[in-house]
Amino acid sequence: MTDPDRSKWLHDEISPDLAQLHSIKRVIYSGRTKFQSIDIVDTGSFGICLILDGKIQSSERDEFIYHEALVHPPLIAHPNPQKVFIAGGGEGATLREVLAHSTVEKVIMVDIDQEVVDICHRFLPSFHQNSFNDRRVQLYFTDARKYLEECRELFDVIIIDLADPLAGGPAYLLYTQESYQVVKKRLDPNGIMSVQAEPTSIITWQAFTAIVNTLKTVFPVVSPYQTYIAAFVDTWGFVCASFKLDPKKLSPKEIDRRLRARLSKKLKFYDGLTHQALFTLPKHLRHQIAITRKVVTDKRPIFTY
């Protein structure tokens, strides 16, 4: 490994008032697709990072935290998840975690940007770990909401792993009430969904609380949770939503039992005690969720920076 060139820095803007600098060891790939810019950079801080539209999406050092937090709570909450739908997840790490569940028989993954998936397939093998080639996977390149609108299949678990809802970006209309209503129609009555729901820190929680409130207008059971993602410089929010499954009702002992019975590998982040911590939100965040009235719609979308 060569020492990083201290004249080269990745400038990652968290908000208009906060930025993080990462030393760059080498640029592995840099380009632009039909939908967004994509960079894969080896940094001194977090190793190899996937960057879309200037925002870090995954880092080699801590992507396991994000992807285990997004995937395993809903799959473990379901008594027997067999059919899973993934919206987004271009680097293949969400798919990797889903396929670790022995009960899963079929996964449909839909990403709008084939170039991103192809580039990640080529340059990020440690992220996807050959998951794109699993016989259980069907991969489609189109708008995930459009696919679900036209689909007649029901899924046990739907995982929404999209880029941030940026103005002019490809994902913002998948964070709306109308989009979640489409998801609801494609869930089995015993099904559950999860979504990455933006940061939860004291200066950036507006999108998270709006997403939680929007899901509450669609689903009877909505369970928000969070964990710290160092590469994002923030606590990061997620939400599970369903007709009747509530991940918070599972004991650590039961979660660990299900993990032992179902998983083909050992996890690095998620277990029963971690699950309990994820869903234990601090008082100030619970208060913000309680007082939020904003509902995100197609006509009134929410944008992050």
Across the chain, mean pLDDT equals 93
CA distances from 85 to 93, 113, 241 (A): 14, 17, 15
Mean pLDDT to the nearest integer, 215-241: 96
Q: Which pTM was predicted?
A: 0.94
pLDDT at 16: 79
Assigned token pair, 287:
């208060």
- Dist. CA 176–CA 172, nearest whole Å: 8
- Dist. CA 207–CA 200, nearest whole Å: 8
Percent of the chain clearing pLDDT 90 (strictly above): 84
3-class DSSP assignment, residue 71: helix
Considering only residues 94 and 11, tell me which one the structure prediction assigns the higher pLDDT. Answer: 94
pLDDT in tens, 156-206: 999 999 988 877 777 788 999 999 999 999 999 999 999 999 999 988 899
Q: What domains appear along the chain, each with residue ranges and CATH number?
A: 9-59 (2.30.140.10), 63-291 (3.40.50.150)
pLDDT tops 80 at residue 235: yes
Report the DSSP pairing between strands 83-88 and 106-110: parallel
Contacts 24+ apart (CB under 8 A), 247-254: 247/73, 247/74, 247/76, 247/77, 247/192, 247/223, 247/275, 247/279, 248/223, 248/279, 250/76, 250/77, 250/275, 252/276
pLDDT at 7: 56
pLDDT in tens, 33-80: 999 999 999 999 999 999 998 889 999 999 999 999 999 999 999 999
- Let me know: does 87 contact 162? Beta carbons within 8 Å: yes
- Let me know: does 198 contact 126? Beta carbons within 8 Å: no
Assigned token pair, 278:
């994820």
Q: Which of 83-97, 184-198, 206-220, 289-303 has the lowest mean pLDDT?
A: 289-303
pLDDT tops 80 at residue 15: no
| Residue 83: count of CB within 10 angstroms of its CB | 18
What radius of gyration, in Å, describes the C-alpha atoms of the chain?
18
Q: Tell me the CB-side half-sphere exposure of residue 123, using CA atoms within 13 A.
A: 20
**Residue 228, H or E segment:** strand 221-229
- Active-site residue, selected from the candidate residues 111, 113, 156, 161: 161
pLDDT tier at 5, thresholds 50, 70, 90: low
Assigned token pair, 4:
């990083």
Look up 3 and say whether it is catalytic: no
Q: Which residue has the tokens 């189109």?
A: 142
